[in-house]
Chain A
Amino acid sequence: MKQLVVISGKGGTGKTSIVAALAALAENKVLADCDVDAADLHLILNPEIQHSEDFSGGSIAELDKEKCIECGKCLELCRFSAIDENYNISRTGCEGCGVCAHFCPADAISMHEKISGKWFVSDTRFGPLVHAKLGIAEDNSGKLVSRVKDEAKKTAEAGNHSLIIIDGSPGIGCPVIASIAGASAVLIVTEPTVSGLHDMERVAELTGHFKIRTFVCINKFDLNADITKRTEQFCADSGTPVIGKIPYMAEITKAQIAAQSIIEFAPDNPAAREIQEMWKILRKELE
């Protein structure tokens, strides 16, 4: 089973629109939305939830003020400044390390499982989708990403699907590292802006570090000819094939508003045609 992960470094370059288009083009696949912080793929795929489960990515400390002797040990030990001088524990500050609970001489602190999100397996018109929702102001998005990927793998195995297409998150940190672990290939969606290029270079360095085959697609390539050229030069120098150059098209936004992929909304649009060509290359490369 192959895993294709779509990431970008910079946010808002068009990852999810391109994943939606690939979802319309690819056969026999499972889709996974690993941008658990700000998941959007479901807005296009209109999923019917078949199964959902709570996700607990860690625990949180709770302090019993009846038992607390206010000795200050927990304040002294907490590296995350999560306990204030009135012995209140901050829900967002607590990292769940349990050090305060372990060393409290009065046994006043206990650790409790924290429900920090939910994940779903759904049916869509393009096949199964595994997606998730991180709770408000929660952490552990990396762990939830790993969980979504595991469930997508199980779904793919159970249904004999040969491919998982994963929509990743922006950045290069914890959720991105979790999303690209074990990938067969990564597609970086970039845009020809000074920030798009800068961020693409960093995310390409990351996939290079993990030795994952990487392809690049330049979205809105006609916005800035000079930076498109510099992007292609960087890719040529680093041995990263540019497999698609998608023009700046208002139809991409219109398709999103119609809750469709560009392939359904405007199959003859130049952007749709370019994504079809790109998919032909990717499909071959993934064989």
Chain B
Amino acid sequence: MIIAIASGKGGTGKTTLSVALSSYISSRGVPVNIFDCDVDEPNVNLFLQADIAVRETVYVPVPRIHKELCNGCGQCEDICMFNAVVLIKGDPLVFPDLCHSCGGCMHVCPEKAVTEVDKEIGTTEEGYVGTIQYVGGILRVREAITPPLIKAVKKHIEQDRINIIDAPPGTSCPVIESVEGCNYLVLVTEPTPFGLNDLILAVNMAREIGIPFGIVINRADIGDDRVIRYCEEENIQIIGKIPDSREVAERYSRGEFAGYFIEHFSDVLENILKAAGVSKIEAWRKQ
């Protein structure tokens, strides 16, 4: 079982909900895995405070050109769609930051002058707190391409457990990479024009990739009813509403909200599990 939490707009409460949901499942004595796929700005463990047991460096292959073997034919430059290999006065030059690691230049080189070397793009970390297993990705600052790191995080998914994925904001490739393959998607929004606009984008994305989803409205009383009307018109399930509160905002600011959240909004967390098809948490206890 994989439940992903995404949003379109940033700062709507994805991480809050992911951490609260994991903590809630754990509080019932059931093992749960949480994955921080917002590798640009991973925040899950700021709140979870899991002890990190394992760290692994994640690499992607980039070309290295052995000049002594190169005949200057330029086929590597021709095949590269990303301008990562450019011939300057007959000498091929590699721009690793533009490389998408497709391997084309290596396969096409008639002189076998191209091999691949590892380029570090970030790390994954793995830790435990209670019955929660946490795996997060941390993008190396200045690296641009995140999907390979998200893939490395998602490798730790265990199908026989409940897995919670905290996705990055937006609707483009890192989000698709994060939510693809999940059983249920929770879209968190807020009842503001920005929230609604980005929710519509996220809904279109969810429909495009064909994942069942429902909506949680956070700070449900700060705006207007346009989000609710949109959900009604589109026949989208509203799984829960979380009222705005200075108390929650202040607790969040300190990183101490999970217990409070469970105490006050366990109905929302229960509804998410129900919507995802986990009708009885305890059934996931053994394994």
Contacts and interface: CB of A to CB of B under 8 A. Distances in A.
B249 A223 contact: yes
Given A38-B8, A40-B197, A194 B254 contact: yes
Contacts of B253: 191-194, 196, 223-224, 227
A87 to B, nearest CB: 19
A16 B255 contact: no
Nearest to B80: A97
A38 B79 contact: no
A139 B192 contact: no
Nearest to A250: B222
Contacts, number: 191
B101 interface: yes
Contacts of A199: 41, 43
Interface size class of B (residues with CB under 8 A): 35 or more
A171 B173 contact: no
A97 B40 contact: no
B11 to A, nearest CB: 1
A43 B193 CA distance: 7
A102 B103 CA distance: 12
B41 A142 contact: no
Contact of A99 (B15, B102, B223): B102
Contact of B107 (A9, A37, A58, A103): A103
Interface stretch (A120-128, A252-260, A270-278): A252-260
Given A99-B103, A102-B104, A177-B144, A193 B252 contact: yes
Nearest to A192: B253
Contact of A10 (B10, B39, B104, B175): B10
B198 A40 contact: yes
B172 to A, nearest CB: 5
Contact of A202 (B41, B146, B197): B41
Interface in A34-84: 37-40, 43, 58-59, 77, 79-80
B193 A138 contact: no
Interface in A212-266: 223-224, 227, 250, 253, 256-257, 259
A15 B146 CA distance: 23
B41 A10 contact: yes
Given A102-B79, A137-B208, A173-B39, 7 more contacts: A10-B43, A37-B8, A59-B81, A102-B108, A170-B40, A170-B169, A172-B41
11 contacts: A9-B40, A38-B169, A99-B103, A139-B172, A169-B169, A173-B39, A173-B144, A174-B145, A175-B172, A195-B41, A202-B40
Interface of A: 8-13, 16, 37-40, 43, 58-59, 77, 79-80, 92, 95-99, 102-103, 134, 136-142, 169-177, 191-196, 198-199, 202-203, 205-206, 209-210, 223-224, 227, 250, 253, 256-257, 259
